[in-house]
Chain A
Amino acid sequence: MAEYKLLLEHADDPAYRTLAGYQAKGGYQALRKAVGMDRQAVIDEVKKSGLRGRGGAGFPTWIKWNGIEKEKTAPHYILCNADEGEPGTFKDKQIMETVPFLMVEGMTIAGWATQGDHGYVYIRAEFCDAAKAVRQAIDEAYAAGLLGKDILGTGWDFDLDIHLGAGSYECGEESALMSSLMGERGMPRLKFPHAPLPTVAGLWDRPTVINNVETYACAPFIVERGGDWYATLGASTKNSRGTKIFSVSGHLNRPGNYEIEFGTTLGELIDLAGGVKGGALKACVPGGSSVQILRGDGLRDAVIGYEEMWEAGSMVGSGGCMVLNEHTCIVSFIWRTAQFYAMESCGKCTPCREGTKWMLQIMERIVRGNGQPGDMDLLMEITKQIDGRSFCGLGDAAAWPVAAALKVFPEEFEYFIKHGRSMIDTPQARALAPRWAQTVGV
């Protein structure tokens, strides 16, 4: 299957980043239609569309929207998680930079459907250009009466603001994002069943909808063309509907963001990005650094869909597809991944705080050539002690890539531990090696 450009159709058109250009291409028709509909009807369209959260977890979006109290007793908040920090993922950045109005309109629709009062876009501070583009879009929307008081003559007020994060991966976790937004330390908060869902008590203990940038950007299409139409996209998969933007990076001829319909195979996605460069395909991390690595043989046929990918041994995640060629040392790759999670653990819970650091120490020892027999078992045990025991998903996300690599590429770990150097001993690999070797001071 080829690329299916829905969200990114006008990504290359600079005019689309202005309100006039956006409206010329049909922008804000969806909001106009939505405010003419019953609020529940909007949610029902989203339900029919089968839209699932694009941030990584794949939770049905309509359930969140439908969970907001219908008889309003308090202000409702609409949050957009634009703290895109998953290594390998850069789709939200492009959405915000090139099609910001899709997100702004999507949030406004969500606000309408849930009687929202105030929206916040939590953007990681490194995304200066994205933040500027969103700011500009919001300002234009305000000027045109598409945000603020009495939107489109409905008597409904909705405000939208930007909040810049301060550079913590953990703040992309929805409850930590809310902590951060409320001015607290960016640490996750108690979750259901330990505390009410965000839809009941989220930001400032008020009903809160929180979705990913891409999820909101889908909303205008669903409302405008109907949930049934949207559900025809990806109909070949079990339960994944619509399109998904994959940030394809690594050893590829044309790395970049590619929007595909669910049901496309990983091989087709890799071909879209110009195919593997510099050697044969060795492995692929399909959904961002948190998800399980897949071995090159056979992965081309893996179908992209939430359930399908799970059956293939990995996850759709946030769509950060990293493709590795045959010259990649998996041990070094995992060491670098472990470094990221040890650095980004917020420190709240014991398994993640101590486990990620310990895993990094072991990985570092191995890549320094001091691996010990038993290190693989120990690493595997540590991943089990973290996975499912940590306070939030960060611990799981730190454990999965290590556990998967140990399972999928055991021979590379065994070789590295036994010989004190990488099994991948090609000129290309050696050319890469000094970069990590220097970092750890080998």
Chain B
Amino acid sequence: MAAVANVPLVKVSINDVEIEVPKGELIVESVKRLGLEIPIFCYHPRMKPVGMCRMCLVEVGFKQQDGSVRKMPKPQAGCTLPASEGMVVYTDTEPIHADRRGVLEFLLINHPLDCPICDRGGECPLQNNTMAYGPSTSRFIELKRHLPKAFPLSTYVTLDLERCIQCGRCVRFTEEISGDHDLAFRFRGADMQPSTFQLTDFESKFSGNVIEICPVGALTSAKYRFRARPWDLETTPSVCTVCSNGCNVWFDHRAGKFVRINGRANEAVNEEWTCDKGKFGHEHYNAADRPTQPLVRQGDGFAPTSWSGAYDPVLAAFAEGGDRVAALVGPRVSNEALFLLRRLFERAFKSARVSSNWRRTPGSGSVQGTIADVESGGPVLVFGTSLADDLPIVHLRLRKGATNAGARVVNAFSRPTEVDRFAAVSLHYRPGSELALARGLHGLLAGTGATAEAVEAETGVPADRLREAVEVLKEGGTALSSQGLYDLSDGPQIVEALAGIARATGGRSECWATGANEQGAIELGLAGEGATATLQACAEGRVKALWLVAADPFALHPDRALVERALETVEFLVVQSPVGSEALAYASVVLPTALPAEQDGTYTNCERRVQRVQPAVPPPGDGKPDWRVFSECLLRALPETPLFNPREVMEAIAAEVPAFAGCRYEALGPEGTVLGGNLLDTPDEPAMVGGQA
């Protein structure tokens, strides 16, 4: 709410207290400066105010020349009223109380009082406002509205039409935030209901957010429906590790079991939104097939053992060391675990064969700006990625930049994506012609004599479109892509051509990781020779012992035959995994570990922001955090003082890895910290995540 520098201040009087607020600030926000609150339903600070629900009515007047106050004859909606000089507002008068009672009575006449079985019961704005401002009884004796109670809008979202209070938040979310316009109102008056067009599926990739912003229990999560009461839930501030955006979330759990994910505010990253992959992508925490204790191979099966019983054969098998032992790491392993794994292999096994890179071609991407920079309004070239799938929150921020700040976006992909909806120019190229297009655009922008017609011939993108794109991009812009480009055989060359475009236009080149800690692994020097090379070495018998760390090669590597050959050939296979995977069948030893929200650690997101995840729930059975497994192995293999906790590991990282210099848990603010940013200047603060001590 800080005043923007160039907005003049005006004096308003709220409940007879005079304050200065920026001109045009909505009264519903201004009253917060005095610690007051105006009850709301339809208003949402991140969406345009509409004044639909009328819950926020306030009395408004204007100071006259003679000092008297002339009140407006009707109460006004505080959520739509901009502050102006001499405005006098009353939020707490008897007529306003009566208006609030009236609105709540209206909202409740058709709202079923099934709070005892409603998911929202206990965290429901309608319940809260009714308790605070509403009438205690209803005078309504007619038949209530009856409508479908569990209409499946999509796989994730179930609509209870009886509970809907028609505030329009969900409809506006799809119009203003996700931009897919999937929801709209149909019918009129009391029959009005939110719906998809022709009752098709609610296909938005951000549909889960409407569940959270619904002020009643009308939009419910199909996954969470009837599973818990809010007051039985514990919540832990956390970070989503489904993709590289690092959205801040609330990790809700009950009796040590994961229950649901809700968005948590972090203005630098996700504002408060989540994508469906993240919001609904944590079900594996409760999977039945999670390994719960260390196992060692015994004939065709496994025998349970203790951790010591597992460490001994592992350390024996890897003792040979050198090029004959290797490790492959998945994309969701914390910085601390990655660092200790590398140290274990370097110091104990004398091996550099630790690789986190599952891409087809080697490459370390490029990070020059931040997620928030994307919405600044400069031209952006989105290249070779479906943003809503690969970097969903970046997609939302870019859309915001395009719609609010007028950013001109050029979207280049082989098929239509959500970005096309707000892109100024869409370039749909023939699959496989990425490099030709990137080089072509570079040539056109750098004026190297390339012609649009020649590029058209190579890529199938109409020459006129190319010229339009050049018109947009020559203003200087960000070339935004994902490291998914490295899955193409000419990935590095494409990334280089994109960097050339950025250089030619004076813009930035961003080629961002997509795995939760893929960027962290790059920073910590674990990119290594690449999974393909390691697997080939295994398949050819050059690697004797392989350690898979939270990595299912069958899911991560495209060449299934190679993976099978490698896992069959390698003599000793350690599968260190928090979840069941196909690779378990090949394992010599299985080490059960913890998922991200079951252990302490930090993750480096696509913009190199280091954020801490704290343990919310315990791992099942004897599962251990990954970092601890490596720390214990180090202790057994080397006479070294062990690192006792992730905090110490981070100190070691800061000391050894230049990119992390100065990075301490205490220095990670509530929004996390971008590597190479202001790390060294950050004053000591208590360890915080999301503003919660």
Q: Which residues of A contact B (CB under 8 A)?
A: 168, 170, 185, 190, 193-195, 342-358, 361-362, 365, 372, 378, 381, 384-385, 388-391
B141 in contact (CB, < 8 A): yes
- Chain B residues bordering chain A, tally (CB within 8 A): 40
Q: Closest Cβ of chain B: how far from A193's Cβ, in Å?
A: 7
B102 touches A385 (CB 8 A): yes
Task: Tell which of A353, A384, A389, A390 touches B189, judged by Cβ atoms closer than 8 Å.
Answer: A353
CA distance A282 to B191 in the complex (A): 36
Among candidates B49, B57, B142, residue contacting A361 with C-beta atoms closer than 8 Å: B142
B318 to chain A, nearest CB (A): 66
Which residues on the A side are within 8 Å of B140 (C-beta)?
Answer: 358
Task: Give the complex CA separation of A190 and B143 in angstroms.
Answer: 33
Nearest-neighbour CB distance to chain A for B375, whole angstroms, equals 23
Contact residues of B between 97 and 125, Cβ < 8 Å to A = 99, 102-103, 105-107, 109-110
Q: Decide yes or no whether B82 CB sits under 8 A from chain A.
A: yes
**CB-CB under 8 A for A354 and B190, given A194-B51, A348-B52, A385-B106:** yes
Q: Are B75 and A353 in contact (CB under 8 A)?
A: no
12 A/B residue pairs, CB under 8 Å, sorted by A: A168-B188, A185-B184, A348-B50, A349-B51, A349-B53, A349-B54, A350-B106, A350-B166, A355-B106, A357-B110, A358-B109, A389-B57
- Residue on A nearest B99 in the bound complex, by CB: A389
* B192 cross-chain contacts in A, Cβ below 8 A: 346-347, 353
Question: Which A residues are in CB contact (< 8 Å) with B165?
Answer: 350
Give A347 to B53 CA distance when docked, in angstroms.
10
Q: A194-B76, A357-B189 are in contact. List 17 more A-B contacts (CB 8 A).
A: A190-B49, A194-B81, A344-B188, A345-B190, A346-B188, A346-B192, A347-B189, A350-B52, A350-B107, A353-B189, A354-B190, A355-B106, A372-B141, A385-B103, A385-B106, A389-B74, A391-B51
Which residue of chain A has its CB nearest to the CB of B81? A194
Give bound CA distance, A168 to B143, whole Å.
Answer: 26
Chain B residues contacting A362 (CB-CB under 8 Å) are 142
Q: Does B187 contact A (CB under 8 A)?
A: yes
Residues of B within 8 A of A352 (CB): 189
Do B142 and A358 touch across chains, with their CB atoms under 8 A apart?
yes
Interface digits, B162-202 against A, CB 8 Å rule (1 contact, 0 not)? 00011000000000000000001101111110000000000
B69-85 near A? 1/0 per residue, CB < 8 Å: 00001111100111010
The CA of A229 and the CA of B561, in the complex, are separated in Å by 96
Residue pair B51, A389 in contact (C-beta under 8 Å): no
By Cβ-Cβ distance, the 6 closest A-B pairs, closest first, are A347-B192, A385-B102, A354-B106, A345-B189, A357-B190, A388-B74
B46: A residues at CB distance < 8 A: none
> What DSSP secondary structure best describes chain B's contact surface?
loop
Give the docked Cα–Cα distance between A381 and B50 (Å).
26
A352, closest chain B residue (CB): B189
Known: A194-B77, A358-B140. A347 touches B188 (CB 8 A): yes
Give every chain A residue within 8 A of B102 (Cβ-Cβ).
351, 384-385, 389
Q: How far is the CA of A347 from the CA of B76 in the complex (A)?
A: 19
Task: List residues of chain B with CB within 8 A of the CB of A391.
Answer: 51-52, 54, 77
**What CA separation (Å) do A240 and B8 show in the bound complex?**
42
List the B residue with the shortest CB-CB distance to A365: B142
Contact pick for B75, options A168, A194, A365, A389, CB 8 Å: A389
**From A361, which residue of chain B is reached at the shortest CB distance?**
B142
Whole-angstrom CA separation of A346 from B188 in the bound complex: 5
Of residues B49, B52, B57, which shows the largest number of chain A Cβ atoms within 10 Å of its Cβ? B52
- CB within 8 Å of A: which B613-668 residues: none
The 0/1 profile, CB within 8 Å of A marked 1, for residues 123-142 of chain B is 00000000000000001111
Closest to B84 in A: A193
Known contacts A348-B52, A349-B54, A354-B109; is A388 also within 8 Å of B75 by CB?
yes
**Is the pair B80, A194 in contact by a Cβ cutoff of 8 Å?**
yes
Which residues of chain B have C-beta atoms less than 8 A from A193's C-beta? 76, 81-82, 84
- Partner of A388 from the list B73, B84, B105, B184 (CB cut-off 8 Å) is B73
Tell me if A356 and B139 are in contact (CB < 8 A): no
Q: Return B434 CB to nearest CB of chain A, in Å.
A: 38
Closest to B105 in A: A385
**In the bound complex, how far is the Cα of B592 from the Cα of A63, in angstroms?**
78
A358–B110 Cα gap in the complex (Å)? Answer: 9
Partner of A378, one of B50, B139, B191: B139
Q: Are B77 and A353 in contact (CB under 8 A)?
A: no
B165 nearest in chain A by CB position: A350
Known: A194-B80, A194-B81. A349 touches B184 (CB 8 A): no
Q: Shortest CB–CB separation between residue B359 and chain A, in angstroms?
A: 46
Cβ-defined contact, A358 with B84, below 8 A: no
- B-chain residues with CB within 8 Å of residue A168 when the two chains form the complex: 188
A356 in contact with B189 given A185-B184, A194-B81 (CB within 8 Å):
yes
| B51 and A347 form a contact (CB under 8 A) | no
Of the residues B54, B141, B166, contact of A351 by C-beta under 8 Å: B54
A349 B52 Cβ-Cβ under 8 A: yes
Contacts of B74 in A (CB 8 A): 388-389
CB distance from B626 to the nearest CB of A (A): 52
Tell me the nearest residue of chain B to A347, going by C-beta: B192
Inter-chain CA distance A388–B166, complex, in Å, is: 20
User: Whole-angstrom distance between the alpha carbons of A349 and B82 in the complex?
Assistant: 19
Interface centre among B51, B52, B57, B188 (most CB of A within 10 A): B188
Question: Are B190 and A353 interface neighbours, CB within 8 A?
Answer: yes
Q: What is the CA–CA distance of A362 and B142 in the complex, to the nearest angstrom?
A: 8
A270 to B99, CA, bound (A): 40
Which chain A residues border B141 with CB–CB below 8 Å?
372
A355 / chain B contacts, CB cutoff of 8 Å: 106
